[in-house]
Structure 1
Amino acid sequence: MKWTNHPPKTLLQRSFLFGITGIVLCVLALLNTQFQVLQAPMGPLNGVGMALQLVGLSLAVLVIRQRKLAPEIKERAQKMIVVLAVGLLFFILTL
């Protein structure tokens, strides 16, 4: 089944899960580079976190582009886009 065939609520839930997982991974990488808890390179972890945030952002955009959306779903998708875009921009600028 393609991603475009799923209902908007399911896509928003997946967008949230991908986004929050990406944010957590990027925060872990950022904290480890600051406090040096693990002696491992954090570049790959940071890259995976940003990729997950991009996937979450693209799912939220996919929801907002659908026709005949309920106003509350459209509002939730807009909030998700803003939060993920700001988070992604923050983690790009902290590199």
Structure 2
Amino acid sequence: MNLNNKDPQQLLQRSFTIGIVGIILCFIPLINNITAFADPKKIFFLNGFGLAAQFMALSLAILVIRKRKIPHEIKDKSKRMIIVLSVSILFFFLNT
């Protein structure tokens, strides 16, 4: 799959979807620490999958911002996506 030929709006939508899934996967172990609905040792691996998904979404957003000749609105959306994903990755790294 060659991502350089894809539509920037479609790549940004995929980045958003993958980023939301990654954030949700990282929140499940945090909620488990509070409510204890499962064994923490068995559910902790979701943090890894969530962080991997967030890194993938971050790389897609960076790929969009590096493209040439795209509208200014899409570049702004990509910049905001990069900031949000960077903050969420930092939060989940510091929280584990």
5+ long unaligned stretches in structure 2: none
2:18 counterpart SS class:
helix
TM-score, reference length from structure 2: 0.93
Q: Which amino acid aligns with 1:87?
A: S
d(CA) in 1 for partners of 2:4 and 2:69?
14
Aligned residues: 95
**1:10-29 alignment to 2 at 5 Å?**
10-29=10-29
Aligned-pair identity in percent equals: 47
Richer in helix (by share): 2
CA contact (8 A) 1:33 1:42 kept: no
Q: CA deviation at 1:44?
A: 1.1
Q: Name the residue aligned to 2:94.
A: 93
Q: Name the residue aligned to 2:63.
A: 62
Deviations 1:11-46 (A, max 9, x none): 000000110000001011111123211125222111
5+ long unaligned stretches in structure 1: none
TM-score, reference length from structure 1: 0.94
Structure 1 runs, 4 residues or longer, greater than 6 Å off: none
RMSD over aligned CA atoms reads: 1.0
Q: Which amino acid aligns with 2:5?
A: N
Q: Which amino acid aligns with 2:52?
A: A
